[in-house]
Structure 1
Amino acid sequence: MNQDYNGFTMLPVSTWTAGGALTWAATDNMTVTASGRREALEASFTGGIIPNDGISVVESVAILRADYRVMENVVVGGGISYIQDDYNLIPRTDDAWSPLASVKYFINPTFTVGFDYRRVDFESKGIGLPSYNRNVYLLSANARF
């Protein structure tokens, strides 16, 4: 893939891109999913506060997840994801590892509620941000009609 930009703020980026996912029904009650992608993106160092601070980024993502039905209406899951952002023409690479755990309760065929926990371990090498860890909690309610 080759991306060219008009103007002086973004430099062209050329890289191979790919993406895909594979889900395996390991047992009647368990699925295992592996997915990944690599693509060229754009980033802003200040979130757009300072004009013309954009740069090209090559992002690689790998995810492995398993879900297990413990009861007819309860599914527990777990997995891990890895994201790497490689910044174009500056010495900076960001890595983030993120293990996760989840539980989903199917109230009926229309409504579900869930809880997800994810721990993010972020590290930036080169010119970048200080490393950090954070805990992310998500409570969800979904309806399908």
Structure 2
Amino acid sequence: MMTEEQHLANALTAFIGRPLDNPLSRSEIMETARIALAALTQPARPDLKLPDGWVAVPREATREMIESGWTYHLITKDPSAKGIWACMIAAAPAAPHTAPIEPICATGGAEWVKVPREPTQKMIDAHMDGMVKGGAMTAYRQMLAAADELSN
């Protein structure tokens, strides 16, 4: 059985792909609109609210996040993990208000994780180690792993 989200995604894909030659019936279009409206207007669940000083970021850094961190580094000539982190957080897309946000170590596979807005010394050390071992994406992943101890 399809979830409402899967039904919505399939219906919208079909509608957007061929709006004039739409395979959906009027009732399917109305049901899709109802689901979309409900998803867009429902308040965020209380369990998704983040504590003060924490933000939701994608589990995998986006290209924009990586570019923002590199731009900071190139313009300022400052490899500071704090500055790079701040730029990456600012460039992160906003988490949908209904997205499940998990601690980093959670195995549920959520696309969003909670991290402190200000990096800890352990996160800064992990960033430097990650840059040496594999570059920006490795540094980001290691910072998330270092932040994990705080999020539980």
With structure 1 as the length reference, what TM-score do the two structures score? 0.24
Structure with greater helix percent: 2
Task: Kindly indicate which of the two structures has a greater share of residues assigned to strand.
Answer: 1
Pick 1 or 2: higher relative contact order, CA cutoff 8 A, min separation 6. Answer: 2
